Amino acid sequence: MFKRTKFNDTLLNWYQANKRQLPWRETSDPFKIWLSEVMLQQTQVITVIPYFEKFITKYKDLDALANADEEALLKDWEGLGYYNRIRNFHHAVKEVQEKYDSKVPSKPEEFFSLKGVGPYIGGAVQSIAFNNQLAAVDGNVLRVMTRLNRDNRDTTKVSVQKDIKNFIESDMPLEAGDFNQALMELGATICTPRTPKCVVCPVREHCEAFKKGEVMNYPVKKKAKKKAEYYYNVFFILNDKNEVLLFKQEGDLLKGMYELPRFDVDTSLESIEEKYGLSLSQPSDAIGEHKHVFTHKIWFMEGYVVRTTDQHENFISLDKVRDLPMSVAMQKMFKMIDGL
């Protein structure tokens, strides 16, 4: 076990001298700090920066985002993925507006009660915005801590994550927010998964895995399950006004996003006609294909053009499609009909 006080001091000094200049580190506004942490979940920093800057320009404070239309938020979020993040954040900031007079709660128990706030988001925002003594344990922190302690437990287990969180909190420095960010910064820039820079690591003298030459053995994770694969035909159903049939998703994965009709590959044209009450032409030859990888599944999609002279309330002008919130998977499909 390493000497915590010396480790904490060394890490904090390194962080103050070497931290990256990031836009959310230039604010003390709890709302903006919270927004950044929501965006950074499962998304790289370089991807988040332009989205964060766009959001804080358009939604200057908590009230502005709380009062925004969900469809507009989804459109602005388009490309970041994991759309439940912005839906939950929108729900949570509206609750803050109504229940806490638009002030992000500084009491952990109140903040943790909000929709979408889990152990990581809660610890990060409460420590960075209010300096509450809570750890924020993400993948970077798990990697750093398991290497420091040669901890060979399975880090995908919630019980192990809780133990590591408790270990960090057992000797948290007064600068809790900076300390959490220092651990994350170390994991993101030095103690990386595949090419750790141990030779320049400021805390290598405390690292048991480094001393044993076993850095690449940590963290230990159980083998991920193979992603489920799904095969779909996606239809551009066009009418004589050059409008395309689109539907707003209701399911959990892409709720609120607009999508082209998507069917299992063995679905007959007759059943599609029956579903929509339309008389359809025979599909074109496939105009393209796209593979889209989600966290736990993979979609393999082929696109087809189908025409109809019938009417349907869900036909939308092709000129207006670009203004609608749409998943990256559907955006890629739409590129297939450019110029058709």
CATH superfamily of 228-337: Nucleoside Triphosphate Pyrophosphohydrolase (3.90.79.10)
**By the 8 A CB rule, do 92 and 116 touch?**
yes
pLDDT means per 10 residues, the chain with 340 residues, are 83 97 97 98 94 98 97 93 93 98 98 96 98 97 97 95 96 96 97 96 96 96 86 94 91 84 93 94 90 90 94 92 89 79
Burial 303-336 (b: 16+ CB within 10 A, else e): bbbbebeeeeeebbeeeebeebbbbebbebbbeb
Q: What is the pLDDT of residue 24?
A: 98
Tell me how far apart the alpha carbons of residues 159 and 133 are, in angstroms, rounded to a whole number: 20
Which tokens is 171 given?
């000797």
Tell me how far apart the alpha carbons of residues 242 and 27 are, in angstroms, rounded to a whole number: 47
Catalytic residue among 26, 37, 229, 302: 37
Alpha-carbon distances of 204 from 178, 211, 213, 318, rounded to whole Å: 20, 8, 11, 57
Q: What is the pLDDT of residue 339?
A: 54
Choose which CATH entry (3.90.1150.10, 1.10.730.10, 1.10.340.30, 3.40.190.10) describes domain 4-217: 1.10.340.30
Q: Catalytic residue at 37?
A: yes
Q: What is the pLDDT of residue 226?
A: 86
Q: Does this chain's domain 4-217 share its CATH topology with 228-337?
A: no
Q: What share of the chain is helix, strand, coil (3-state, %, to 5)?
A: 50, 15, 40
First to last CA, the chain: 65
Helix count and strand count (H, E) for the chain: 15, 8
Q: What is the pLDDT of residue 340?
A: 53
For the stretch 150-197, pLDDT in tens is 999 999 999 999 999 999 999 999 999 999 999 999 999 999 999 999
**By the 8 A CB rule, do 206 and 144 touch?**
no
For the stretch 190-249, pLDDT in tens is 999 999 999 999 999 999 999 999 999 999 988 878 889 999 999 999 999 989 999 998
**By the 8 A CB rule, do 209 and 148 touch?**
yes
pTM of the model: 0.81
Tell me how far apart the alpha carbons of residues 29 and 16 are, in angstroms, rounded to a whole number: 20
Which residue ranges make up each domain of the chain? 4-217, 228-337
| H-helix segments, 19-133 | 30-40, 45-58, 62-66, 70-77, 84-99, 108-112, 119-130
